[in-house]
């Protein structure tokens, strides 16, 4: 049967990323392709105790419908968390609880983007965000970046070239896919440019607290004097992704409209999960838990970078993340990344090719590696297999 889908549905039936992840899911393959947190670090016992207390004291309320803006107790805990860790002190009216980060991206795009509007993004950037922006008819334009994040001179040039820019999307901390972090000066400049050109910024910060080296930098939102920055975060990387909870912080008028849009999307985020996470945060030290995660990811990242430096062929470059979950690799020459992917699969190892992360022109020979969900022996053996595959491709 032929369905008359809307223009928001991709015209192609190809699911390149899905096929990559399916191949990478073969148990014989060491896969650096996923973006999963380490499940052995989930606080299962603590969350189980929090759930038991919720059912004992608030079971009926937790199983009932709730307001679309989110559980007020959880929003208070998020406000305290943001004040302590991000030096932002929002009222709870500035905060809406969301169904993970994806909902914030989708609803913000739905609110701001009309067909033909321009969205400026880092080049490369989070592939699911690209899919969302394109589904609403946006023209997505890439902004150059280097090891210090999005380049502000190129950003301003793109803002001049595209006066119909509606949104700037950025992942300033340990960016997906590159692992790079935007400097403090550039964050301040980004906030200033948003105000100068009257363009909203969507600041996506899912990895920001998972820092294992370097010095923390305040969010772009910290430098926002006029309400142009929409800040979003999630519990998926610092607690558990299965809870499907995130949050957005923005101007109160923006949040009021956001809540109306959310009502028609899912009515409200999982109420039971909200109660459990609020109870967990009251009785447990979330910062100590995040430090445990950061320390372990730091060890795995250091090992991966050491193995890359020792085993990959000369000329291969990589990012040097100070936190987060990813390393970005660039192979010299005009290497076809999909060919390299299948060559690696022959060696029983996998990555995510760079192509889906680019909004426009693709840089060949680029790919993303994940270390957060890998044990030491997998990192050692997987990088060895990958080095062999890369050498074969480069010596063709």
Q: pLDDT per residue over 242-260, tens digit each?
A: 999 999 999 999 999 999 9
Higher pLDDT among residues 294 and 8, named by residue: 294
Per-residue confidence band for 14, with pLDDT thresholds at 50, 70 and 90: low
Give how far the C-alpha of residue 36 lies from the chain's centroid of Cα atoms, to the nearest Å: 11
| pLDDT at position 372 over 90 | yes
Q: Supply the pLDDT for residue 177.
A: 98
| pLDDT at position 157 over 70 | yes
What does pTM read for this prediction?
A: 0.95
Per-residue confidence band for 102, with pLDDT thresholds at 50, 70 and 90: very high
Query: Average pLDDT, stretch 98-113?
Result: 97
Please tell me whether residues 164 and 239 are part of one structural domain: yes
Give me the chain's average pLDDT, please.
95
| pLDDT at position 40 over 70 | yes
Per-residue confidence band for 22, with pLDDT thresholds at 50, 70 and 90: confident
Last residue of a domain, one of 283, 299, 330: 283
Per-residue confidence band for 394, with pLDDT thresholds at 50, 70 and 90: confident
Whichever domain contains 20, its CATH number is 3.90.1150.10
Higher pLDDT among residues 339 and 21, named by residue: 339
55 in a structural domain? no
Structurally, the chain folds into a number of domains equal to 2
Q: Supply the pLDDT for residue 21.
A: 67
Q: Supply the pLDDT for residue 268.
A: 98
Contact 281, 50 (CB under 8 A): no
Please tell me whether residues 236 and 108 are part of one structural domain: yes
Last residue of a domain, one of 261, 283, 305: 283
End-to-end CA distance of the chain: 45
- Alpha-carbon distance of 311 to 50, in angstroms, equals 45
Please tell me whether residues 325 and 189 are part of one structural domain: no
Beta strands 200-204 and 229-234 are parallel
Query: And the tokens for 145?
Result: 């970046």
Higher pLDDT among residues 117 and 394, named by residue: 117
Percentage with pLDDT > 90 across the chain = 90
Cross-strand bridge partners of residue 352: 368
Q: Which of 106-110, 252-256, 332-336 has the lowest mean pLDDT?
A: 332-336
| pLDDT at position 28 over 70 | yes
Domain that holds residue 279: 64-283
Query: Average pLDDT, stretch 228-252?
Result: 97
Per-residue confidence band for 17, with pLDDT thresholds at 50, 70 and 90: low
| pLDDT at position 396 over 80 | no
Last residue of a domain, one of 266, 283, 300: 283
* Alpha helix ranges (H) inside the chain: 16-24, 44-62, 72-86, 100-112, 127-135, 152-161, 184-197, 252-266, 271-283, 286-311, 337-346, 376-394
- Alpha-carbon distance of 87 to 91, in angstroms, equals 13
Give the position of tokens 């007020």.
72
Q: Supply the pLDDT for residue 34.
A: 86
């Amino acid at each position: 049967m032929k369905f008359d889908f809307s223009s928001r549905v991709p015209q192609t039936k190809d699911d390149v990323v899905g096929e990559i992840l399916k191949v990478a899911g073969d148990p014989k393959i060491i896969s650096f392709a996923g973006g999963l947190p380490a499940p052995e670090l989930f606080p299962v016992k603590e969350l189980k105790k929090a759930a038991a207390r919720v059912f004992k004291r608030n079971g009926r309320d937790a199983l009932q419908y709730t307001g679309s803006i989110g559980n007020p107790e959880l929003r208070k805990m998020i406000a305290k968390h943001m004040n302590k860790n991000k030096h932002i002190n929002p009222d709870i009216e500035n905060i809406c609880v969301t169904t993970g980060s994806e909902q914030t991206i989708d609803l913000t795009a739905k609110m701001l983007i009309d067909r033909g509007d321009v969205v400026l993004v880092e080049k490369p950037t989070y592939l699911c965000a690209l899919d969302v922006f394109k589904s609403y008819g946006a023209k997505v334009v890439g902004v150059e970046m280097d090891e210090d994040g999005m380049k502000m001179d190129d950003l301003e040039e793109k803002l001049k070239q595209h006066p119909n820019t509606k949104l700037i999307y950025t992942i300033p901390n340990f960016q997906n896919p590159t692992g790079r972090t935007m400097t403090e000066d550039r964050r301040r400049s980004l906030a200033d440019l948003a105000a100068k050109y009257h363009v909203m910024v969507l600041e996506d910060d899912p990895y920001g607290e998972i820092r294992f080296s370097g010095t923390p930098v305040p969010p772009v939102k910290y430098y926002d004097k006029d309400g142009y920055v929409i800040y979003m975060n999630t519990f998926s990387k610092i607690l558990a992704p299965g809870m499907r909870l995130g949050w957005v912080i923005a101007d109160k008028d923006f949040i009021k409209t956001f809540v109306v849009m959310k009502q028609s999307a899912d009515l409200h985020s999982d109420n039971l999960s909200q109660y459990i996470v609020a109870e967990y945060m009251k009785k447990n030290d979330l910062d100590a838990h995040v430090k445990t995660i950061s320390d372990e990811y730091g060890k795995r990242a250091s090992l991966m970078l050491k193995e890359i430096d020792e085993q990959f062929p000369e000329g291969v470059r990589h990012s040097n993340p100070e936190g987060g979950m990813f390393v970005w690799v660039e192979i010299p020459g005009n290497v076809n990344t999909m060919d390299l992917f299948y060559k690696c699969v022959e060696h029983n190892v996998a990555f995510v090719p760079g192509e889906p992360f680019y909004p426009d022109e693709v840089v060949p020979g680029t790919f993303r590696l994940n270390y957060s969900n890998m044990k030491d022996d997998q990192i050692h053996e997987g990088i060895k297999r990958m080095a062999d595959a890369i050498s074969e491709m480069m010596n063709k």
